[in-house]
Amino acid sequence: MASKNRPDRLQVGKNHSFWQSWLHAWNGLKTVVVEERNMRTHLVLGVLALLLGWWVNLTVNQWLWLCLVIFMVMLCEINNTIAENICDLVTGPHYHPLAKKVKDIAAGAVVFAAAFAVLVGLILFVPKLWPLLMAWL
């Protein structure tokens, strides 16, 4: 029988409600933020990018691009964390070259997404900030 989210019993069955599923998902998000330093870094940089976007008055389309790359980087980081945890679960304390390969590929996806986010950020913000910088100098 399922635990109905009681902390004193482990759940082994299916979720019984939408809200139970929602609670598990929320706990997963909290876990990745608490346990993964890189996710916290992505969150802070994402919030800073959103604040900068508000300050420079991005258009609707620019907001869509900005939000897309922020969420893409965070999704890649979540998937990277999943890959690392599954590899650690399977290999335990032992080294396995295939586990390293999986972890490296997942980390590479985060770097790839972050590089795209930087490129989009440059395209969005340089034209808006360059005149301000020139006026200030």
Q: Is 35 labelled as part of a ligand binding site? A: no
Of residues 32, 58, 77, 106, which has the active-site annotation?
77
13, 1 Cβ separation under 8 angstroms? yes
Distance CA 130, CA 137 (A): 11
Is residue 30 within a helix (H) or strand (E), and if so which, with residue range? helix 18-35
Q: Is 84 annotated as a binding residue?
A: yes
Check if 77 is active-site: yes
Q: Annotation-wise, does 77 bind a ligand?
A: yes
Give the amino acid at 70: I
Question: What amino acid positions are annotated as catalytic residues?
Answer: 77
Q: Residues annotated as binding site for substrate? A: 77
The binding site comprises 36, 77, 84, 103-104
